[in-house]
């Protein structure tokens, strides 16, 4: 029956070792741990501990809601991608799609992990430079770059500008006073299975140019004294759970001709729920490189720009339970919601969760985890079993690292949460929580007006 709720908790989901000797059962771990960073443990007191840091301590030090990032998990993904691609295709480069987590500390972490950076917009350039990233390692994207943004990029010495359209080409020609490396964004004509708002490679895409127009633009760039054509760029979409669309996009773009470089974008999906089975990073790399070997020039540079697959699993959102209400449904309302994670409302993304101090307790109550904002669509998780949820419990939502901080907003006057990095038993505040002063700053009429 549509909308009917399961009445009984699911069989306890566990991972790890099977019980072979009933006299001496080996410990089994709740399956939810498999969604958290690899460093995650349950402490002797039964708390969730990430990178050696008890999430209760994060909450008592920095409050809730809070974004927590496991530094080593990010580094592990970065090295799997950078080294994995290099082993398969030595002339390669991995870019951090910084839109997935645009915090200054994340730019710094990415750069020190061997990644170049994809920036889309002047604000992301500013944050990357603040983090000390070499501007030559920036790739500037966007389908509507303004004069002011392009001027800023040129002045900063941004290494590569990805031209989206003819108007942008004309702007750049007007603004460039010395040679500038560029790529051309192409519509690859591939629509992967994902949420429509995350699909960017189909024929109707607002990003890039179809092949015939891209070919004309490439000819214009090649004839231009200031613009150096490096190659072509595509991005088919995000949270893509199969490898074939990536391969298809590479095969399509190869038809455009031989270039020095091919940037095939990001998009590799991640496992948010027990049911999802994304390709591993190795499977993804095997597939794209095998296709590239078949259709791209052997000496060309191959670039990828992952966001979600780098940061999603490294990040956790921690909330406090504010109320538990039984109205025929059990609503567990927390102190955050669509102001700190837009994804459930925007893309219908499903998450799993657990209670920080009850992670080893079997989940027994069917709940709807909702936020505090004035929309019925402000929900975090529909229909999840939680272990005896109660007021003041801390709720931990795994796989929350990608695009949550990105889309944080001030709905209902919410203050954007802090970002806390956890690393080898220590916590570091990377972004502090907004204050009411921050909230009011832009509303004060006496504040100076600084155009971007």
Binds ligand PLP by CB under 6 A, chosen from 121, 159, 266, 389: 266
Based on the shown chain and the rule CB under 6 A, indicate whether residue 145 belongs to the binding site for ligand PLP.
no
Based on the shown chain and the rule CB under 6 A, indicate whether residue 315 belongs to the binding site for ligand PLP.
no
Per the annotation, the verdict on 367 as an active-site residue is no
How many residues sit in the footprint of ligand PLP (CB under 6 A)? 17
Helix segments in 6-70, DSSP class H: 55-62
Looking at beta carbons only, is 306 or 387 nearer to ligand PLP?
306
The distance of closest approach from Cβ of residue 311 to ligand PLP in the complex, given in angstroms and rounded to an integer, is 8
The two tokens of residue 385 are: 């079993």
Looking at beta carbons only, is 53 or 310 nearer to ligand PLP?
310
Q: Which residue has the tokens 């990805």?
A: 162
Looking at beta carbons only, is 256 or 334 nearer to ligand PLP?
256
| Cα separation values, 71 from 36, 142, 361, Å | 13, 28, 28
Based on the shown chain and the rule CB under 6 A, indicate whether residue 279 belongs to the binding site for ligand PLP.
no
Helix, strand, coil percentages in the chain from 3-state DSSP, rounded to 5: 30, 25, 45
Based on the shown chain and the rule CB under 6 A, indicate whether residue 141 belongs to the binding site for ligand PLP.
yes
Catalytic residue, from 26, 136, 277, 374: name it: 374
41 alpha-carbon distance from chain centroid: 24
Based on the shown chain and the rule CB under 6 A, indicate whether residue 97 belongs to the binding site for ligand PLP.
yes
The distance of closest approach from Cβ of residue 304 to ligand PLP in the complex, given in angstroms and rounded to an integer, is 9
Q: What is the DSSP string of 386-441?
A: ESS--TTPEEEESS--SSTTTT---GGGPPPPPEEEEETTEEEEEEPPP-HHHHHH
Q: Is 38 helix (H, G, I), strand (E, B) or coil?
A: coil
The distance of closest approach from Cβ of residue 70 to ligand PLP in the complex, given in angstroms and rounded to an integer, is 18
Binds ligand PLP by CB under 6 A, chosen from 73, 100, 116, 291: 100
The distance of closest approach from Cβ of residue 97 to ligand PLP in the complex, given in angstroms and rounded to an integer, is 3
Based on the shown chain and the rule CB under 6 A, indicate whether residue 191 belongs to the binding site for ligand PLP.
no
| Cα separation values, 129 from 25, 123, 297, 371, Å | 54, 10, 33, 35
The distance of closest approach from Cβ of residue 20 to ligand PLP in the complex, given in angstroms and rounded to an integer, is 40
Q: Output DSSP code: residue 443.
A: T
Binds ligand PLP by CB under 6 A, chosen from 188, 245, 307, 387: 307
The distance of closest approach from Cβ of residue 267 to ligand PLP in the complex, given in angstroms and rounded to an integer, is 4
Binds ligand PLP by CB under 6 A, chosen from 30, 37, 102, 306: 306
Q: What is the DSSP string of 108-132?
A: HHHHHTT-EEEEESHHHHHHHHHTT
Binding mask 391-410 for ligand PLP (x = CB under 6 A): -----------x--------
The two tokens of residue 357 are: 């101090």
Looking at beta carbons only, is 63 or 189 nearer to ligand PLP?
189
The distance of closest approach from Cβ of residue 306 to ligand PLP in the complex, given in angstroms and rounded to an integer, is 4
Based on the shown chain and the rule CB under 6 A, indicate whether residue 372 belongs to the binding site for ligand PLP.
no
Q: What is the DSSP string of 77-114?
A: HHHHHHHHHHHH-SSEEEEEEGGGS--HHHHHHHHHTT
Distant-in-sequence, close-in-space partners of 114: CB < 8 Å, separation ≥ 6: 78, 79, 82, 94
- Residue 26 burial by CB count (10 A; 0-12/13-18/19+): exposed, middle or buried? exposed
Looking at beta carbons only, is 308 or 313 nearer to ligand PLP?
308
Residues 208-247 that bind ligand PLP (CB under 6 A): 235, 238
Q: Cα separation of 346 and 197, whole Å?
A: 8
Distant-in-sequence, close-in-space partners of 446: CB < 8 Å, separation ≥ 6: none
Which positions lie near ligand PLP, rule CB under 6 A? Answer: 97, 99-100, 118, 141, 235, 238, 265-268, 305-309, 402
Active site residues: 374
């Amino acid at each position: 029956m549509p909308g009917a709720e399961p009445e009984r908790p699911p069989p306890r989901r566990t991972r790890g070792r099977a019980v072979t000797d009933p006299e001496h059962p080996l410990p089994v771990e709740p399956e939810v741990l498999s969604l958290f960073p690899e460093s995650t443990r349950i402490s002797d007191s039964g708390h969730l501990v990430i990178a050696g840091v008890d999430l209760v301590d994060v909450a008592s030090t920095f409050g809730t809601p809070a974004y927590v990032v496991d530094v080593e998990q990010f580094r592990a993904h970065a090295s799997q991608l950078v080294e994995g691609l290099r082993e398969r295709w030595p002339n390669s480069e991995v870019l951090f799609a910084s839109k997935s987590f645009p915090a200054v500390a994340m730019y710094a972490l990415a750069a020190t992990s061997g990644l170049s950076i994809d920036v889309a917009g002047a604000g992301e350039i500013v944050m990357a430079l603040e983090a000390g990233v070499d501007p030559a390692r920036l790739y500037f994207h966007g389908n509507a770059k303004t004069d002011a943004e392009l001027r800023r990029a040129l002045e900063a010495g941004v290494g590569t500008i990805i031209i989206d359209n003819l108007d942008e080409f004309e702007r750049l020609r007007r603004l460039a006073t010395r040679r500038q490396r560029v790529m051309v964004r192409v519509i690859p004509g591939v629509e992967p299975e994902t949420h429509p708002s995350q699909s960017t490679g189909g024929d109707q895409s607002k990003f890039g140019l179809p092949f015939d127009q891209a070919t004309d633009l490439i000819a214009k760039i090649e004839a231009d004294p200031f613009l150096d054509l490096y190659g072509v760029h595509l991005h088919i979409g995000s949270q893509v759970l199969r490898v074939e669309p990536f391969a298809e996009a590479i095969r399509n773009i190869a038809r455009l001709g031989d270039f020095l470089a091919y940037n095939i974008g990001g998009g590799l999906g991640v496992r948010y729920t027990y049911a999802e089975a994304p390709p591993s990073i190795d499977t993804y790399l095997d597939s794209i490189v095998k296709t590239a070997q078949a259709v791209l020039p052997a000496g060309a540079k191959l670039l990828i720009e992952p966001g979600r697959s780098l940061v999603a699993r490294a990040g956790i959102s921690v909330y406090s339970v504010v109320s538990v209400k039984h109205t025929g449904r059990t609503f567990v309302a927390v102190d955050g919601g669509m102001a700190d994670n837009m994804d459930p409302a925007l893309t219908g993304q499903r998450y799993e969760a657990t209670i920080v101090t009850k992670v080893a307790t079997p989940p027994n109550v069917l709940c709807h985890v909702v936020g505090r904002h004035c929309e019925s669509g402000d929900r975090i998780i529909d229909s999840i079993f939680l272990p005896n949820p109660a007021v003041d419990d801390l709720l931990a939502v795994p796989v929350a690292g990608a695009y949550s901080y990105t889309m944080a907003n001030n709905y209902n006057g919410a203050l954007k949460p802090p970002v806390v990095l956890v690393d080898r038993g220590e916590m570091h505040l990377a972004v502090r929580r907004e204050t009411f002063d921050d909230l009011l700053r832009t509303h004060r009429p006496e504040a100076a007006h600084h155009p971007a």
